[in-house]
Amino acid sequence: MNTKVMITTFVMIFLAELGDKTQLATFAFAAENKTRLAVFLGAAGALVLTSLLAVVFGSYISRLIPAHYIKIGAGALFVLMGLWMLLSSGYK
């Protein structure tokens, strides 16, 4: 196992997840439920499953499309989704 890749991935995903909608949804679930362990396990399971899907599909797609183009496409999609959210939010 490549420890450097694992640590870099952990740090980048950890920083990206701070304050995002997933964390806020988990915060809300924990605030309204007394079974915090169930909330933690549900949220952790969902994050593990989405990460597994990303790794599986990412490794498959990287066989068809070079990683450089995948990064450009992901960045462009991120920007487009952000613009769409800004423009469709009702602040006109």
Give the residue extent of every domain in the chain: 3-65
Q: How confident is the model at residue 91 (pLDDT cuts 50, 70, 90)?
A: low
Q: Quick check: 29 and 39 in contact, CB under 8 A?
A: yes
**Which pTM was predicted?**
0.69
Mean pLDDT of the chain: 89
Specify the pLDDT at position 30. Answer: 93
CA distance 63 to 65: 6
pLDDT digits (tens, 9 = 90+) for 44-78: 999 999 999 999 999 999 999 999 999 999 899 98
CA distance 52 to 4: 19
Provide mean pLDDT across the span 18-29: 86
